[in-house]
Amino acid sequence: SQTIHQWPATLVQPVGSPLSLECTVEGTSNPNLYWYRQAAGRGLQLLFYSVGIGQISSEVPQNLSASRPQDRQFILSSKKLLLSDSGFYLCAWSVLASIEQFFGPGTRLTVL
Amino acid sequence: GDSVTQMEGPVTLSEEAFLTINCTYTATGYPSLFWYVQYPGEGLQLLLKATKADDKGSNKGFEATYRKETTSFHLEKGSVQVSDSAVYFCALRDNYGQNFVFGPGTRLSVLP
């Protein structure tokens, strides 16, 4: 069966520090991968999606970047965090053979 | 572009009350429709889905019917429980399978 992992689960970082969040998927090949951000009490904002290794599409201009170094690994990064980067970050995957999207447990990031 | 609109809430109900959360969408063609549920501090879980007009998705006592004529996918449950307290997201996936669009989420609180 398929599993999606995210780490860390929680993170507290100072403004201006770098960020690296990791997402890995098990049990499937060539998935589409997604990064979403959910600000406190708000809906989901799609940040990035990837249809293959090295292929990244950005939905909104921002302080963050994403990379996909391996088929089932998706990384969200920042060189210098802003206060506005605080939120709940969700990784998700999908495949064309299955219509729905599957979500990881999320990472709660607090920037102080 | 595609969009999803849902009542933002919060919705507060007493245990065993009837629940309706409205969802309408705008999309070209025939999208697939979903309801996801997010419990506190967790990622999103698929609750139910429908892939074509007049399909009814159901799970855990929740139901939603794909109504193309009204472009709606309202979520209903006949008798809610305290454990149903969560945020509910309506979503669609477009014909090409790459683009998911989420509504803003509706927070439901069920009181004993």
Residue count of chain A, please give it.
112
Which residues lie closer than 8 Å to B83 by C-beta, 6 or more apart? B110
- Predicted local confidence at residue B50, as pLDDT: 95
Peptide bond into B40 cis (omega under 30): no
DSSP B59-83: ETTEEEE-BTTTTB--EEESS--GG
Contacts with A97 (C-beta within 8 Å, 6 or more apart), sequence order: none
- Hey, are the CB atoms on B103 and A43 less than 8 Å from each other? yes
Residues of B in contact with A34 (CB under 8 A): 100
Contacts of B36 in chain A (CB under 8 A): 103
**pLDDT over 90 (residue B47):** yes
- Of A95 and B105, more confident: B105
Q: Does residue A49 sit at the B interface (CB-CB below 8 Å)?
A: yes
For residue A28, give the 3-state DSSP assignment. coil
Residue B36, pLDDT > 80, answer yes
pLDDT of residue B32: 92
Q: Report the pLDDT averaged over residues A20-49.
A: 90
Q: What is the pLDDT of residue B97?
A: 61
Determine the pLDDT at residue A1.
74
Mean pLDDT of A10-14: 96
Question: What pLDDT band is residue A99 in, cutting at 50, 70 and 90?
Answer: confident
| A48: pLDDT strictly greater than 90 | yes
Instruction: Give yes or no for a contact between B73 and B7, defined as CB atoms under 8 angstroms apart.
Output: no
- Output the pLDDT for position A87: 93
> How many CA atoms does the CB half-sphere of A58 hold within 13 Å?
10
Q: Which residue has the higher pLDDT, A45 or B21?
A: B21
Span B68-104, pLDDT tens digits: 999 999 999 999 999 999 999 999 998 766 678 899 9
Residue A62 has pLDDT above 80, yes or no: no
- In percent, the amount of chain B with pLDDT more than 70 equals 97
pLDDT at B1 over 90: no
Question: What integer pLDDT is reported at residue A80 of this predicted model?
Answer: 95
Give the separation between CA A91 and CA A3, rounded to whole angstroms.
12
Question: Are B105 and A101 a contacting pair at CB < 8 A?
Answer: no
Does the pLDDT at position A2 exceed 80?
Answer: no
Q: In B, which residues are within 8 Å of A43 by CB distance?
A: 89, 102-105
Location of structure tokens 């920042």: A78
pLDDT of residue B28: 83
d(CA B65, CA B67): 6
- Rounded CA Rg of chain A: 13
B105 — contact with chain A (CB < 8 Å)? yes
Q: Length of chain B in residues, anyone? A: 112
Q: Tell me the torsion sign for CA atoms A40, A58, A22, A33.
A: positive
